[in-house]
Amino acid sequence: MKNENSPFFCPKSPFDHAEMMRTLFPLTERYPAAELSYLGSTVLDRTIPMIKIGSGRREVLYVGAHHGMEWITAAILTAFLKELCERADRTGRVEGLDWQEFCAIHTLYVIPMLNPDGVEYQIHGIDQNHPLSERVLAMNGGSEDFSHWQANARGVDLNHNYDAGFADYKKLESEAGIFGGAPTRYSGEAPESEPEVRLLCDFIRYHSNLRGVITLHTQGEEIFYRSGGKVPTGSGIIARRLSELCGYRLSEAEGAASYGGLTDWCVRACSLPSFTLECGRGKNPLPITDFFPIYTGIRKALFRFPFLV
């Protein structure tokens, strides 16, 4: 679907797993350079699609929708993929570089929606036939309103499930009265306890040529790239350039937000330049009407990132 006044892909309703797949299937069929595969499956056996473009040694990774309420980030990355393929097909070039040359130098991996189960809960809720219905309702305080659900299918906040200050975060978690599955902020029984996080960590460990990672979250119009006092070589320069391209300010996470995230793990455990873009402003979940201004605001950063790392 397109906005009548826009050349870009522009969804008109909350972007769930089914809608994402309905967009990705024809995209990869039309453009052979975009290869569809799967990182794996979620707790509820939903597929986690991954698009690969190019075969070069300069590898970069984009990840969206760690959180159920942040499904708009999956739509943003899908729009990026669609525009990238359409521009290459129409002009034969990307950011001034011949498309064939671009694909020979770069490899882009894009995982639009890491947490499709959480997105499904947030948009559609659960019904009585859900295999974990009693447990999930209990985690949600007995409420059938899942509009503020962030976690995965079994109540683990995926962006606290990485092995980056996990033990320290557990102390904050208990001080906040969180001792088990919940709509948000529960980190799980152990680092990488959740299949979504374990699969992604294994992917990153296996791909030794990765030069950088972008993770999209909402909201705040900020960029995070430090963790635990560590900054991988070159990250500061890249972060400043990303800030110039999208207008987001450079920030440093504080409190609970500074533990257990993908950027934290990439920086601390892998010394891999990694950048969290907190997209848009307002209150999560951001409305679908925010999609177009968010995407047009950060698209230059998404297109230029492979050239920066």
The verdict on residue 171 lying in a domain is yes
Output the pLDDT for position 253.
Answer: 87
> Distance between CA atoms of 229 and 248, rounded to whole angstroms?
21
The verdict on residue 301 lying in a domain is no
> Distance between CA atoms of 193 and 198, rounded to whole angstroms?
7
Sign of CA dihedral 264, 48, 101, 94: negative
Output the pLDDT for position 129.
Answer: 86
The verdict on residue 200 lying in a domain is yes
The verdict on residue 100 lying in a domain is yes
Q: Is the pLDDT of residue 158 over 80?
A: yes
Find the domain containing 102 and state its range: 1-296
pLDDT tier, 1 (very low <50, low <70, confident <90, very high otherwise): very low
The verdict on residue 308 lying in a domain is no
The verdict on residue 133 lying in a domain is yes
Burial annotation 169-189 (CB, 10 A radius, 16+ → b, else e): bbebbeeeebeebbbbbbbbe
The verdict on residue 272 lying in a domain is yes
Output the pLDDT for position 33.
Answer: 94
The verdict on residue 309 lying in a domain is no
Closest CA to 140 of 180, 170, 169, 100: 180
> Distance between CA atoms of 153 and 156, rounded to whole angstroms?
8
Domain at 165, CATH number:
3.40.630.10
Instruction: Determine contact, residues 133/126, Cβ cutoff 8 Å.
Output: yes
Instruction: Determine contact, residues 211/58, Cβ cutoff 8 Å.
Output: yes
Domain count, the chain: 1
User: Taking the complete model, does pTM exceed 0.85, yes or no?
Assistant: yes
